[in-house]
Amino acid sequence: MHLSARLLQDELTEKRARLVRFLSEHRLDGVWLGQPENFAWFTGGGRLPLSNNAVGLLVLKDITYLIAPTSDGERILIEEIGGHGVELRPYDWHRSQAKGDLLSRLTVGLRVGADSMCASPSLEPIGENLTQLRLALTPAEQYRYRALCGELTRIVQEAAYQIKPGQSEREVAAEITYRLLKANINTTRLLVGADSRLRRFIDIPPTDNHICEIATISVIGQRGGLQAALTRLVAVDKISDETLNRHRAVATVAAHYIHYTRPGRNLREILDVGAAAYSREGYAGEWEAHCQGGLIGYSPCELQAAPTIEHRIEPYQMVAWQASIGGIKSEDTMMVLPDRIMTLTRTDDWPVIEVKLDNETYYQPNILQL
């Protein structure tokens, strides 16, 4: 068996084992997986069609069914799942009750949970509990994540180097989208904002506004269900002292988030560290203006850091912190290892700011000056 095929088989075996343990712990006989993030996780990267309420996996302790309309089932089984012991159970797309009737027949006498309310009224909603199963990456997922982050970073940064004064935000976004699609990377988020919009807003969708001074490019790319995030700033003219000072402060706060992200620490504690860093940089309370990030994975935000969140970081979970002051943002995607944290959205051909903390140096993305 080819190494990649063996890794995928090991991954699928591990995930089924996790799910079977979950069923036993919650005294369930099965679970419906109809949300795109859960479907992708369990299948090793399979995609649901846009009308995802119509398709899902019914996972029982001894068998897994693909429930899909006759129009989609065979393709999804072959192209998105690859077989792997999953049995197709098609239903008539033109009968409104067909899916519900099929689920009722397959689950009669069973206690079955569901990751979405719309699956069937007879199933129990347990969506939030399933998130924990996705967080720790298997070796195969770690490999795919590294590849995704490397390609995403290269593509975004290459496009950034090509920006010209007077180019519109929308033109930059279109170029990035084109390059990402060629690499089989879809955009979950693509923000491009320049000049006065950058100074005024935080999350900035692209418009026909022209880039005359400075622009932010903020992307979440998805491939095989896995999500990776990064933000880069590009200047095509002289940068104001205010912008430089804000960016230096943001880079420092981001370095604090990274420095304190270690196995055993919880998200609330790390957020507190970031809030204190904002204050020391002269921007007290700025963390409240925008989400600061948290865990990323099969969802762009698996678990958001907040004052009430006590989730403890574990090895091989993914984090994406996004320190920001207005539209000036520092964001990267990182993997938590047993003894350190590794930034995956980083290359040697982008300028950096050095931030020293406790005898360690963190190299944060600087503003690219063209």
Backbone angles phi, psi at 185, to 5 degrees: -115, 120
Tens of pLDDT, residue by residue over 320-361, are 999 999 999 999 999 999 999 999 999 899 999 999 999 999
Residue 52: the pLDDT is: 62
Contact 295, 318 (CB under 8 A): yes
User: Does residue 281 share a domain with residue 358?
Assistant: yes
Q: Are residues 300 and 253 located together in one domain of the fold? A: yes
Predicted TM-score of the model (pTM) = 0.94
Q: Are residues 205 and 231 in the same domain?
A: yes
Q: What is the pLDDT of residue 38?
A: 95
Q: Which of 134, 150, 166 is the last residue of a domain?
A: 134
Q: What is the CATH number of the domain that holds 7?
A: 3.40.350.10
What does the pLDDT read at residue 319?
Answer: 98
CATH at 309: 3.90.230.10
Report residue 345 as tokens: 């959205």
Contact 219, 227 (CB under 8 A): no
Residue ranges of the chain with per-residue pLDDT less than 50: 1
Sheet holding 124-125, edge to edge: 86-91, 64-69, 56-60, 30-33, 112-114, 124-125
Give me the pLDDT at residue 51, please: 60
Q: Are residues 113 and 182 in the same domain?
A: no
Mark 65-100 as b/e (b = at least 16 C-beta within 10 Å).
bbbbbeebbeebbeebbeeeebebbbbebeeeebbb
Q: Looking at the structure, do residues 39 and 10 belong to the same domain, yes or no?
A: yes
Same domain membership, residue 158 and residue 95: no
User: Quick one: 130 and 183 in the same domain?
Assistant: no
Q: At what angle do helices 241-259 and 267-280 cross, to 10 degrees?
A: 150
Q: Are residues 204 and 307 in the same domain?
A: yes
pLDDT (0 to 100) of residue 1: 46
**Bridge partner list, 343:** 334
- In the listed set 86, 107, 134, which residue is the last one of a domain according to the structure? 134
Q: What pLDDT is attached to residue 214?
A: 97
The reply to whether 164 and 219 lie within a common domain is yes
Of the candidates 81, 102, 134, which is a domain's last residue? 134
Pair 101, 149 in one domain = no
Q: How many domains does the chain have?
A: 2
The answer on 99 and 237 residing in a single domain is: no
Q: Are residues 265 and 182 in the same domain?
A: yes
DSSP assignment string, 285-331? TGGGGS--EEEESSSTTSEE--TT--PBP-TT-EEEEEEEETTEEEE
The parent domain of residue 36 ranges over: 3-134
